[in-house]
Amino acid sequence: MSTPKRYYITTPIYYVNDAPHIGHAYTTLACDVMARFKRLDGYDVHFLTGTDEHGQKVEKSAAAANSEPQAFTDKVSQNFRDLAGFMNYSNDDFIRTTEARHKKSCQAIWQRLVDNDEIYLGSYAGWYAVRDEAYYAEEELITNADGKKIAPSGAEVEWVEEPSYFFRLSNWGDRLLEYYDNKPDVVLPKTRLNEVTSFIKGGLRDLSVSRTSFNWGIPVPGDDDHIMYVWLDALTNYITAAGFPDTDCEKYQNFWPADLHMVGKDILRFHAVYWPAFLMAAGLEPPRRIFAHGWWTNEGEKISKSLGNVIDPIELVEHYGLDQVRYFLMREVPFGNDGDFSHSSIVNRMNSDLANDLGNLVQRVLSMVHKNCEGRVPVLDTEGFISPDQKLLDQAIAMLDTVRRQLDGQSFHEALETVWLVVRAANAYVDHQAPWKLRKEDPQRMAYVLYSLCETIRYLGLILQPFMPDSCHKILDQLNINHNQRDFEAFSDEYALKGGTVLPKPEGIFPRFIELESADKAS
């Protein structure tokens, strides 16, 4: 009996000092596409997201909101949970670092590190950025226009002196480099791996992993004067959700190590240096891959609250449509690069790719079937498909292997381009075959043309489900495809449409986007 295929994918857990924005939606969407694709491809998937709720930054944000930290985190965490439902994410778990299961997990990994002599008590004196929840060496700081020292991220730093427990990170440089050498794709894109190895080769210092100057966090086992450094707490969520500290439980055995941690490029160091070192020092396996994607700008400007140009994903969806936003975010920018959001770019994608290319293909083909084939899948005789038909069908079937390979490298934009090659080929096939002419000249040939197009649309509807689930369900509904024949096992002739199957009256899937103001002026 073969071992079931399993896949564990995580978002970073989002820091609850503010409301969700486009960056949060983008990261989780990428994970959702991966999770949905893997499920359709026969994998048992565990998809995790959640919220990071401890630390000095949260304590300060709660105080600024005149709230206790727990009440504050309850409210803000719910915003992220609501966003997951609104964006139609298919996460299997939503973790909060204030949960009892997580406290137990954090204290267990701490104890492992202590038992392995990887943690010692000392005192910390150095620069700390509350906004980044990160420590910085003197040489990493830059001086701003006002002559103040700031972190490379632009965050303000403060000089901190306090007792602290330290993790022996300095001992792990060679072993981390060996980890990367043994798994060359463990950090992607490759440029990010270069950043990580360069940082390590510059020399690692022991890392302060506790604080005493505030108390909103998980207590250090056996020393309640200290709370755990928020990043040790936060990163541990990935094993908490896999069942740790019970490493013998079925979930942990099935899903750890994680197949993919998806993160923004700003938190790569924590995930690709600190986290593997913590795990290996605790005698646990490190993750199989960390992928760091880029940032979005808004109409060419950096997104910030001070500029007032933060993009609210809920407003975006309410304006443009859910699947349209999901498609745009995965299609517009090579995943891993920075990208720019603009109204014109999303409208262009909606009207060109979705309305003109895919939507028009589905609508005109199914309308011709409805009109010329009595609303049924065309019935074929024994004559057989000719070369143009077979070429289109072969291209449609072949895209699964290509897309599978591209998504395994998190190349979402390339995967969609592969699918659109088939969309364009199908539209060109319609134009060349001209089924509207064949209706009178050669009705049986028309049947083969329309059947080939319906089958191609079936394949397109199947493979695009991870990106645009609601719209693809509508496409597959219009082909009267059984719900138990919508995974990738159906990507073969064996599940081909049956001639004579009654189809519902076709309805448009992707209307053109027209701004109401423009429409009012035109009228």
Domain ranges in the chain are 6-294, 344-495
**Dist CA 413 CA 330 (whole Å):** 6
**Dist CA 284 CA 280 (whole Å):** 5
Question: Token pair for residue 307?
Answer: 């500029």
Cα Rg for the chain, rounded, in angstroms? 26
- What are the residue ranges in the chain where pLDDT is below 70? 1-3, 304-306, 382, 516-523
3-class secondary-structure state, position 125: strand
3-class secondary-structure state, position 464: coil
Strand order across the beta sheet in which 223-228 lies: 210-211, 223-228, 219-220
Q: Which CATH number fits domain 6-294: 3.40.1310.30, 3.20.20.70, 3.40.50.620, 3.40.50.2300?
A: 3.40.50.620
Distance of CA 234 to the CA centre of its chain: 18
CATH superfamily of 344-495: Isoleucyl-tRNA Synthetase; Domain 1 (1.10.730.10)
**Dist CA 100 CA 114 (whole Å):** 21
Predicted local confidence at residue 520, as pLDDT: 44
Tell me, what amino acid is at 392? L
The set of residues, in sequence order, having a beta carbon less than 8 Å from that of 6 and lying 6+ positions away, is 43, 44, 45, 46, 254, 255
Q: Got the DSSP string for 421-483? A: HHHHHHHHHHHHH-HHHHHHH-HHHHHHHHHHHHHHHHHHHHHTTTTSHHHHHHHHHHTT--G
Whether the CB-CB separation of 196 and 168 falls below 8 Å is answered with no
Predicted local confidence at residue 260, as pLDDT: 98
pTM over 0.85: yes
Predicted local confidence at residue 305, as pLDDT: 67
Predicted local confidence at residue 309, as pLDDT: 77
State the pairing for strand pair 339-341/219-220.
unpaired
Predicted local confidence at residue 204, as pLDDT: 96
Predicted local confidence at residue 139, as pLDDT: 87
